[in-house]
Structure 1
Amino acid sequence: MKKISTVTNGSLLIAEPFLGDSNFERSVVLVCEHSDEGTFGLVLNQTTNLNLSDVIDDVYAEYPLFLGGPVQQNTLHYLHRRPDLIDGSIRVGEGLFWSGDFEQVKQAINIGTLPETDIRFFVGYSGWGEGQLESELAEKAWIIARSEAPFLFDTPADQFWRGILKSMGGEFKAMANYPVDPRLN
C-alpha cells in the first residue's frame, strides 16, 4: 500500500494508533463516496457475531457480517470484485465495487457462483458531513492510502490495520507495532 495525500473514492482511511474514538479504534475505512457535501465509507476490519443468513431470510450461506460503521446500523452494504455477476455496481477502486443488484447477489450466493472470497457484507456505515473529514485529516487522525482489492478480500479482519501499515513501510511499519495502550508498554 502507498500513502497518498488526497481522499478520493477508493481511498483507505487508516486510523492513527491513538485516535481515541472507540468507533474507529485501529480501523481501516474504505471511502466509497467522497464529495464536497460529505463522505461515505465502510470500516473493513470490525467484525460482528452475525452472518448474512441471520438478517436475510432467503440467503442460505453463512457469510460473515462486518460492522461498516456507527451510522444506520440497520442498513446492509456490500463490497465485491464481481461486476460481471452484479449489475449496477459502482466502481470504487481497481477491481473493487460497491453495491449493485441485491437480487442478483442473493441468487449468485445461493447457487454458489459468488464465494465469500469475492464479497463482504456490512451493517451500518461511516459518514462525515461537509468539512468534517477534512477537519479530522488536519488533526492527523487518519492516514490516507490507496486501496488494493486483493489485500481487502484476502486479509483477515484482525490483521488489516497492522498489515496495511506494515506494507507502507518506514515510519508506518514502526507504527504498526505501537501498543494499544502506551502506558502498558
Structure 2
Amino acid sequence: MRRIVVIGTTGSGKTTLARALAGRLGVPHGEQDAWNHLPGWQEAPREAFRARVAAFAAGDAWVMDGNYSKARDIGWARADTLIWLDYPAPVVFGRLLRRTLRRSLTREELWNGNRERLSAQFTRDGILAWFFRTHWKRRRETPALLAAYPHLRVVRLRSPGEAARWLASLTPEAAPVPPPRPA
C-alpha cells in the first residue's frame, strides 16, 4: 500500500481514518474537502480542484480522502488501494449529528476559514439532509464504480471497530502489499 484513497458517506470518518493511516504509514495526507471548499463556502472551480488532486496524486506515497466524482478518475486511477468505510446508516448519522453539533457550538474552523453554523445544518441544503440524499445511493453505486478500477485493492470496512482493528494491524514495515497489476 503506497497510494491510498479513503471513501465513505459524509460523516463516516474518512478524514479521521485517513489522517491516522497516513501517520501510521509515514506518508502525506490529502483532504479533498479542503481543496474543494474555498473561503465563504465557495466551491473551487472544477479544473483548479482537479489540478490539486492531480498534484497530490502524483506523489509516490500518500493517503487521500474524499468522494468527489469530479476527480475520481485521477485519484482512483493513481491509487493502489481503496479503503471503503461502509458503515450502517444509524452509526454514520449518529456520528455526523454529534460532529455537526460539536463543530457548530465550538465554531471549529474546517477549511479556509469556513465554519459550520447550526442553523444551516437543518435545511434541505445542510449536511444532515446531504447524508439522507447520499448514504444509500453511495452504497448501491460504489460496487459498480469499483469495477471500473480493477487494479485497486479494496478494503471494505463495515464498522468503526473493524476499522480500528484493521488500522491497528498496520505498521510501515508490515503494511499489506497489494497484488501485482496484471500485465
- Normalised TM-score (structure 1): 0.29
Structure holding more helix per residue: 2
TM-score, normalised via structure 2 length: 0.30
Higher percent of residues as strand? 1
